[in-house]
Structure formats: structure tokens, C-alpha cells
Amino acid sequence: MTAPLAARLLQAWALLAGASIGSFLNVVIARLPAGQSIVTPRSRCPRCGAPIAWYDNVPVLSWLLLRARCRACAGRISARYPLVELAGGAAALLALRRHGPTGAAAAELALVALLLALALVDLDTWLLPHALTGPLLAGALLLAPLGVTPAGALGPAAAGAAIGVAVLAAVALLGRLAFRREAMGFGDVWLLGGLGGWLGVKALLPVVLLASLQGALVGLLLAAAGRLPRHASTDGWVPPESAVPFGPFLVAGALEWLYLSGWLARLAPPLALFR
């Protein structure tokens, strides 16, 4: 009976640890683009500035108990906060289930956490900060020789990083020449380099395909609904009329390939070539 109990305890711990990482990601997502410290000050209500007590800062539970309102000013707290915390908990549980309590599980959790932060910062600001893409790329190349990343070894990781950067850099430069304006931000270049480094060179094609298909689909749906988001990023760059940031779609494609490539390859056997 002790083995199942130990397994349950480990799962509960993973869920809590993952949710706490999600809580930290919320801080990173809110403060990093604004150039604020992610360590100090303690969490505050973005509306009234009141410090948030520890008992009002328990992942997911506090948001539910406070009914999505700040205790001090009753301002609404976005549902994104508990959702990011839930996503962190789910990523930790999945990593434990897929890899057991190993370095590979910790590496996968770190990857998913970085990707969640990148996707949400890009949605908010149209920027993919080097403070996030740098560790993504460095982590891929440092961890690959240990065999704990999907790339499996340094060779496929280095090739994935180099080709990911080269392909999107070429797209970005050609876009700039063809349209005389920025068609793709250089943040996407570093992001795809990082993804190639983590997932390995073979994953680049399916990831870019998944991202492009979903980006085009969402772009069409938003255009049809007449509500494309259009606001300047914090460095003053205004996105073209019919644009959605590409980063979140690259992240979605990478997560889909990370979690579902086995299932996709059973569905369409030629896809197994890219695993």
C-alpha cells in the first residue's frame, strides 16, 4: 500500500509546485515587459496597489474564494491568473506522468513554463523579450548533452537551434525587403531557434506547419469577425493591419508537437519521420 500512497503524494506535490510556478509566471508576464523587478516588491493589486497577503495569493483557490475581486478595492481580477496557475499545475502533473520523477520531467516543466510566459507576453505586448528567449535557447543547448530534452543529444539540438534561427531570420529579412516594413519580429527568430534546440531539428517543420495553419485560421476568423487586435507594442512598432502575433502560435505548435506527436504519427504515419 505504501507505493501508491507515495505516488499520490508525489502527484499532489507536483500539482502544488506547478501551480506555484504558474503563480510566479503571472508575475513575470505582468512585470517583465514593463521592465520591473520580478522579485520585489511583493505582489500588489494592479488597480489599487494594495499588497496581496499570502492567504489571498494561494494559486487558484484565492481567486475562487475572493470571487475574482481584489479584497481592498473590489476591482476585477482577470481569470487569466488562475488559468495560468492551473496550466502550471497541469504541466507539472503531465511531466511527472510522462517521465517519472526525473531530470527529463524537470526540463519539460521548465520548457513549458518559459513557453507559457513567452506566449502571453507576446499576446500582451507583441514582444518576445530576450530575458525569456535567451534562457530558452541557452537551456536547450546546455541540457541537450544530458539527454533530458526531447532533442535527445547536442547534435540535433544545435542543428535545430541553428536552422530555426536561420530560417526565420531569412523570412524576416525577405519580408522586410519585400514589404519595406517589419513582417516578422526578430523575437520570433530567437523563439524558433529555442524551439529547434529543445525539440530537435526534425521537429522544426511540423512545429512551423502547425503554427502557420493555426495562425492563418485564427487570423481569418478574427478578420471575418471584424475584430483584429491592433495596438502598438511598447517600443512603438505598430503591427500591420491584418496581423496577429506569431509567437503564441509557434508556442501552440511546439506544445502540440511535444505532447501529441506520438498520437499524430499514429494518425498520419509519415509524420513519424519528424519525431
Neighbours of 179 (CB within 10 A): 10
Toward Zn ion, which CB reaches closer, 26 or 261?
26
> What pairs with residue 51 in β-bridges?
44
CB of 95 to Zn ion, least distance (A): 34
Q: Are 32 and 131 in contact (CB under 8 A)?
A: yes
- Which residues of this protein are in contact with Zn ion, per CB under 5 A? 45, 47-48, 70, 72-73, 75
CB of 43: closest distance to Zn ion in angstroms?
Answer: 11
Angle at 112 between CA 182 and CA 257, to 5 degrees: 75
Q: Within 13 Å and on the Cβ side, how many CA atoms surround 83?
A: 7
User: Contact at 8 Å (CB) between 202 and 265?
Assistant: no
The minimum distance between CB 52 and Zn ion, in angstroms, equals 9
Amino acid residing at 172: A
Angstrom distance (rounded) from CA 136 to CA 143: 11
Give 4 or 41: the residue with its C-beta nearer to Zn ion: 41
Closest contact distance (angstroms) between CB of 42 and Zn ion is 14
Least distance to Zn ion, CB of residue 72, Å: 5
By beta-carbon proximity to Zn ion, the closer residue of 75 and 103 is: 75
- In the beta sheet, which residues pair with residue 44? 51
Cell of 240: 500591420
Is the Cβ of residue 47 or residue 230 nearer to Zn ion in the bound state? Answer: 47
By C-beta, is 72 or 265 nearer to Zn ion? 72
